[in-house]
Structure 1
C-alpha cells in the first residue's frame, strides 16, 4: 500500500483570523527569512482564511513551475491585474494563453530582438545627455526615476518604432504610473474595492487606461491601414500567424499584450538597472572593471546586440544583480486539481508562492549568498538550478531576452562615459510589492570619465 503524503507542511500556528498577514505586512522579507530558517524551504503560512505553501527549494519550485505546471494556474493576485491590463500573457490562462504564446514567441527570439538594439540605444541617449548635465553641474541624480524614464522610452521604441509622437510619449509617461499603482494596490490588498466602484483611485486608473487605450488604438489602426516595414514588436504582433498562415491577434488582444509589455518591460528592467548601478557604486573596483571591459570592446562607438557576448564581466554583474534583486521576486500559483509538491498533498484551489528571492539567496545553494559577487558567474560557483529570475518552464517570461538586451546595452552606455557614486551607500532595505524595489531613493553623484 502506498503511504499517504502528509497533508500540511510545517509552519507557524496562530489563532488570529488574519493568520500571519500582520507579520508579513510589517516586514515581509524579514519574516519570510525567519520562517524559512525555522521551518525549512517548503512551509505553510496562513494569510487570512487561506493556507499558502511557500516554496524556496529549487526542486520543489521546478515541480510547480515545470514538471506539474499543468496542475496550476496563475495566482489570485495576477488574476486581479486583468481588470486594467486585460488578458495578455501575464494574466491569460488555458487555450488563450497557449495561442498567444505561440503567436508571439517568434517576435521575442534573439534574432528578432537584435534588430531592435538601435532603438534601445537611441532611446537611452536623452538620459545620457541629462546625466552629463547633472555631472557638469554637480547635481545629484535620483537613479530610480531616471531608470524608469529610460526604460519606458525604450519599451515604447521597441513596441512602436517611430509611431509614437513626443506628445503621446508624454501622455504615456504621465498616465502609466497611476494605472500601475492601482494595479499594485489591488494585488496587495487583503480585501479589495471592486474596480466598478467609483472611488478616486478607480476613476484615476480608468481615466489613465482610457488615455493609453486611445494611443494604442490609433497606432494599431494606422498600422492596419498602412503596414510599415520594420522590426518593432507591434509590427511583428500584427503580422503574427499560425503555421498554416491563419489566425492572428485581433485589435483587443494586441492592446492587451501592449499594456502587458508596458508593465513587464518597463518597471522590472528599471528596477534591475537601479540595483545594478547601486551595486556598482558600492563596489568601485567592480564598476571600474566593467567599464574597462566596455571601453575595450566599444572604443568610442555605441553598443549593438552583437557586442553582448563580448562583455562577459558586465553580463556577470547583471546576472548577479538579478540573483540578489529579482524584480519578479515571488511567483504565485493556484492548484487547479489535487497535486503533490515536495511530497505534500495539496487540494484543488490551494495557493502556492514560489519565493524566488529566498531561493536565490539560499545558503544551501550559494556561497556568501547575500554578497554581490559577479565572479561566481565566471568561475563555476554559480548554482543554475537555484536561479529563476524570469520564472521557469513554459510560462517563463517571454521577454527575458529583451530584458537582458536592454540591461546590457543601457548599462554599457551608462558605464562608458560616466561614473556612479552613492556616498551614503544607498538604501539598505528592500520593499517587496508586485516587484522588488529599494525601500528608499537611490541618490547618486555622477561624474564624467575621460
Structure 2
C-alpha cells in the first residue's frame, strides 16, 4: 500500500469560512500565532480555499526562483487586471517576458539618474506645507502627505511636464478611490464581478475612465511628436526589441502606466510613512541620519549620486523595508503538480510567501522586532531572508526607482525638519494589498537650526 503524501500542518476548522474570521480580526497577529504553533510552513483555510503559507526563506526561494515556472500570480493579483490591465504585475507567460525585456532598459540605474530632478521638483510642494506646519505648530498626518508626494513623484517620472494642472489634479483625485476599490476586491472572499453595476463598481468605472482619458491623451500626443521624450513614458514608447522591431501598443503602454502608478505610489508612500514613524520613535537615529545628510549635501538638493552616497540613511531605509515590507505577502498559484518544502501540491494550489514574518524571523535576524539600521552596515545579512521586492525573474522591476524616490524624499525632509510623533503613533498594522500603519500617524514638525 502506498503511503499518502504528508500534509503540511495547520489548524483545522469545521466552519465553512475556515480561519477567515480570525484573519479578518487580526491578520498579522493570527499568522504570528500560526507560525508559533506550526512552524514556518503551514496551511490555513479562507472560505473554500486552502492556502500554504511560507515564512521560510528556502521555501520562498523554491516558489519564486527554483520552481517559478510551475507557478503563476495568485488569485488576488489576478483580480487587479480589472484596473491594471495586463501590465507587468498581472501578465503571465510570453506576454510578461516580452514586456519585461522591452521595459528593462528604462529601469537601469543609468536611466534613473535623469529622474532625480523630477522627483525633487515633485517634493517641493510638500516641503512648503511642512515648513508652514512647523511655523504654525499644527500637526500633519504623515501617511496622507507621503501619498501625495509619491503620487506627484511617480507622475513626474512618468510624464515629465506633460500633464496640465487640471490633469494632475484629476490623477490625484481619481487614483486613490480606484486603488481602494481594487483593495476591496482583492480582499473579498466572495467575488463580485467588476462589470456588475454596483455603486462601488460604477464609481470605479468613472475613476478608471477619467485616468484612461489622461493617459490616452499623453500617449497620442507623444506618438505624433518628433521625439517620444526622455521621461519614463518616452522610454516605454521608444522601447524596441534588439533587432529594432516590436514595441508596445498604446493599450500595453496604458496598462504599464497604470501598474507603475500603483507600484511607484502607494508602496513607496507606506515605506516613507514607516521610516519617519521610526525616526520619530528613535530621535538619536533621526539625528544621525540628518547629520549625514547635512554633511553630504550642504545646502544643495540631493541627486541620484547622493542616493548611493548616504550609507546610514540607506541603512535606515533598508531596515524600514525589513520591518514593514509594503508588499508584505506574495501570492502564487500552482499551474501543475509541484513539491514545495517537501509537500506535494496539486495544480491550482494556492501558496503565499509571507515576507513580513520571514523578515522578522528570530532564526535569521538578531532582535528581529527592533529598528536597528546598524545591522545593514556590518556587511553581513542572512541569505534570502530579505526580499521586500520579491525574488527571481519576477522581482519588482521598479525596485531601484522606489529606493531612489525614498532616499531623495527622505533626505530632502530630514535636512531642515525634525519629526516627532507624540505617543509613538499607532502600534498596530493594517495589512491589506500593501502594509500600512494601523491608524493616523500625526506628526509634530519643527524647523532645525544650523
Fold conserved (TM > 0.5)? yes
Partner of 2:289: 290
Mean CA deviation greater in 226-235 or 3-12? 3-12
**Deviations 1:247-285 (Å, cap 9, x if unpaired)?**
000000000000010011100000000000000000000
- Structure 2 residue 99 is the aligned partner of structure 1 residue 85: no
Correspondence list, 1:358-377, <5 A:
358-377=357-376
**Deviations 1:352-402 (Å, cap 9, x if unpaired)?**
000000000011111010110000001245324200000000000000000
Q: Give the number of equivalent residue pairs.
A: 449
CA distance in structure 2 between the partners assigned to 1:227 and 1:167 by the alignment: 25
SS at match of 1:371: coil
Partner of 2:436: 437
User: Is the Cα–Cα contact under 8 Å of residues 222 and 228 in structure 2 kept in the other structure?
Assistant: no
CA distance in structure 2 between the partners assigned to 1:112 and 1:419 by the alignment: 32
Describe the shift of the 1:5–1:165 C-alpha distance in structure 2 as closer, same or farther (beyond 3 A).
farther
Correspondence list, 1:83-122, <5 A:
83-122=82-121
User: Is the Cα–Cα contact under 8 Å of residues 106 and 235 in structure 2 kept in the other structure?
Assistant: yes
Shift of 1:81: 0.5
Mean CA deviation greater in 312-321 or 14-23? 14-23
Partner of 1:410: 409
CA distance in structure 2 between the partners assigned to 1:165 and 1:324 by the alignment: 38
SS at match of 2:327: coil
Mean CA deviation greater in 228-237 or 35-44? 228-237
Correspondence list, 1:188-203, <5 A:
188-203=187-202
**Deviations 1:383-435 (Å, cap 9, x if unpaired)?**
24200000000000000000000000000000011000001110000000000
Partner of 1:343: 342
**Deviations 1:205-236 (Å, cap 9, x if unpaired)?**
00000000000000000000014464210000
User: Is the Cα–Cα contact under 8 Å of residues 327 and 389 in structure 2 kept in the other structure?
Assistant: yes
Structure 2 residues without counterparts, runs of 5 or longer: none
**Deviations 1:314-363 (Å, cap 9, x if unpaired)?**
00000000000000000000000000001110000000000000000011
Partner of 1:217: 216
Q: So what's the TM-score if we normalise by structure 1?
A: 0.98
User: Is the Cα–Cα contact under 8 Å of residues 271 and 436 in structure 1 kept in the other structure?
Assistant: yes
User: Is the Cα–Cα contact under 8 Å of residues 52 and 350 in structure 2 kept in the other structure?
Assistant: yes
Partner of 1:159: 158
SS at match of 2:230: coil
**Deviations 1:77-124 (Å, cap 9, x if unpaired)?**
000010111110011111111100010000000000111110001110
**Deviations 1:13-61 (Å, cap 9, x if unpaired)?**
1111111111111110000000001000011111112211000000000
Describe the shift of the 1:240–1:96 C-alpha distance in structure 2 as closer, same or farther (beyond 3 A).
same
CA distance in structure 2 between the partners assigned to 1:419 and 1:5 by the alignment: 61
CA distance in structure 2 between the partners assigned to 1:357 and 1:447 by the alignment: 32
Correspondence list, 1:9-408, <5 A:
9-228=8-227, 230-380=229-379, 382-408=381-407
Mean CA deviation greater in 225-234 or 276-285? 225-234
Q: So what's the TM-score if we normalise by structure 2?
A: 0.98
Shift of 1:307: 1.0
- RMSD over aligned CA atoms reads 1.2
User: Is the Cα–Cα contact under 8 Å of residues 281 and 420 in structure 1 kept in the other structure?
Assistant: yes
Describe the shift of the 1:5–1:274 C-alpha distance in structure 2 as closer, same or farther (beyond 3 A).
farther
Describe the shift of the 1:229–1:72 C-alpha distance in structure 2 as closer, same or farther (beyond 3 A).
closer
Mean CA deviation greater in 142-151 or 14-23? 14-23
Shift of 1:4: 7.1
CA distance in structure 1 between the partners assigned to 2:60 and 2:4 by the alignment: 18
Partner of 1:425: 424
**Deviations 1:145-171 (Å, cap 9, x if unpaired)?**
000000000000000000011110000
**Deviations 1:109-148 (Å, cap 9, x if unpaired)?**
0000111110001110110011001101111010000000
User: Is the Cα–Cα contact under 8 Å of residues 112 and 231 in structure 1 kept in the other structure?
Assistant: no
CA distance in structure 1 between the partners assigned to 2:241 and 2:170 by the alignment: 34
CA distance in structure 1 between the partners assigned to 2:303 and 2:383 by the alignment: 27
CA distance in structure 2 between the partners assigned to 1:268 and 1:227 by the alignment: 34
